[in-house]
A and B are shown apart, each in its own frame.
Chain A
Amino acid sequence: MTTTAAPQAPPDRGIRYFARQQTPWSWLALGVGIIALLVLIIGAGAILTAHGWTQVCPEGVDRLICSPTDPLAEGLTSNELAVLCIAVIVIGAAAAGLALWRRRSVPNKQAREAAVAGGVIGIQAAVLAGVLLWFRSSNVETFARNFLDVRLLGDFFPRFVNGAKNTLILSFLGGALGMFLGLILALFTMSKRAVIRAPARIYINFFRGTPLIWQLSFAGLGVVTALRLGFFSGIDGPYRVAIAVLGLNLAAYSAEVYRAGIQSLERGQIEAARSLGLSYLQAMRFVVVPQAIRRVIPPLTNEFVILIKDTSLVTVLGLAFFQKELLGAGKDIYSSTANATAFLGSAAGYLIITLPMIRLVTYLERRLRSGLTSVVG
């Protein structure tokens, strides 16, 4: 509780300290490496921008004569870019050489780290420049036309937004259904009665053991086409089937997550609750589940990210034009324009949705870990 020694501030190991430990040689290696990378990024950006990334073609001009990506192809094939790449390779190699040569003769760890970092950055810049040089020697014009047509992304922007909307609807409705069913399934798998455990296990093994694309196809064929169940027929039929199957599939996976979370609690928690006279269900509801939920939020979010990407599989159900999710929208645009840049739009859409969630998982996991230490200590 009480400490006699006065609290001592930890030694300053910040960026200023790091800078003070450097020698001229370590500064040089670090500087040259960074310069190589900056020259590549700024130089290539400037050259491509000077030529232009895209252009507006006059109405009615043949696409073989004028393509929106012609300026970009011109920039990529220009001699300036080739010279720039070679220069970057030379500078990067120089940084690497400096680091290799000087890394043992620096006076301290901080200086060595800086020199090595400079060398590594230099190598990275040189490799990138080499790849660019190699790419430049290929059929750049065709590639740019079919894959790098940013104008197309702008033209079809509303379609991508609609696709993202549908991806989110499918994910959130399917996710809510799956996480609710999953909790019930998890409680079933932990029952002491085999007649309750067995069906839950069969369900989970079936949905984990067959591909989601098979589940979607089968449900689409069986429910929509053959059974014609009221709720799952009509124009919204396939869309509702998609949500239901995504939910049923996630339930199997989330059940395992919940089960692991609940079983990670000490047996003593439930024993303490039972010894106070709480029934099994009360102990679950007031003691076990509230604690387990906290532990399963990061892995459940993970399952949710997987679900977001898996919504792309609903294309097998043959959704209507306005029901298309991100990949479906990209495919549609690809078939009407014969331009694969559409797929880049889909990828960008997925990343915009999933990256924040992946960050959230990392954050929650770190917070949970620090929380646990205080519980134990």
Chain B
Amino acid sequence: MKLLIEVILFAIPMILLAWTLPKKYVLLSQIVITGLFIAYQSPISFAILSTITFGNYYLLHKAVLPKPVKVAISLAILVLLIVSAKILFTIHHSWIIPLGMSYYIFRNIHYTVESYNGRIQNEGLLFYLAYNFFLPVLIIGPINRYPEFVRDWQRRRMNNEYFSLGLQRMLYGVSKIMIIGNYFLSSKFPSLISNLGENYVWLKTYLNTITVVLNAYFQFAGYSDIAIGISLLLGFRVMENFNFPFLASNMQEFWSKYHMSLSAFCRDYIYTPIASYFRKPMLGVFITMSIIGLWHEITMPFLIWGLLQAFGIYLAFLFKNSADTWLNKNLGRIFVLNYFCLSCVIIDYQELGKALEVYKILFFIP
């Protein structure tokens, strides 16, 4: 909450300057304010992001090396950085992953790959800096794409509808966090659940499981809405991160609507290359979902969680020919909610032993 308030406080001058400064200084003002924010919150993250931005830019656009070599070095460094950070976090829980690192590493991997594909050619350093130092999406995404970012900048103009939409998104985002997440799902419902009698162990466990996952979803969706709202106020239309995922009727559809920026990234840069190379889509799914799990934390619970998501998608593939009736759709929605929430038990409790205890209660295993 404190971080959110600080983001909004830094965003206010950014928005004011975005529409009062001459256009040639606007990007610079955004870079400076974002830089100040991240330096204030996490000097380590500021140092890492600055090094990556300048280093990657000069490597990809100025270094005199064959293109594949440049891209290979860039990707190797980026992957090494994120894996090291995650491993350090796993080993020493007092080590906190530098602010936003998981997201800006992925953004830079995207930039590197698109440079290799020729979709990004000799772009100015300023645009690359502005892309990396973009406050709204810095901390928890969405993982916006570089070409869209530049296109939005080029088309940027005073747009009342964007402002109104931006304010609306921010209000809805705050409402998801405050009303649904904090008030109902973190306070009222847990209180109601704990007031159920001693005999309702299964019901209490089940409701707690659902509540925890829905709370995480609404909090994350709320922060994404705020990020999208602030971006709109700056004149940028950033990609959506959620599209009513719990209305999906199978796990494949769920993952096309849940944390969309991450799943789109993984689909484009992990799933598609693997599936096309090996001609085995399911292999692609299992590897991609494992990486999504490990992207959160490099631990066994998150790996198992990723594999469970992959298995859910596999089940969707098996049942893909079932009739698209009202009944099937709603049964599917119930399945998706329960499957996802139950799969999250393993990461909620962090220890496999404790998670197994909960599963025993939920599945009536003595």
Q: Are chains A and B native binding partners rather than an unrelated pairing?
A: no
Which residues in A have some Cβ–Cβ distance to B below 8 Å?
none
- Which B residues form the contact surface with A (CB < 8 A)? none
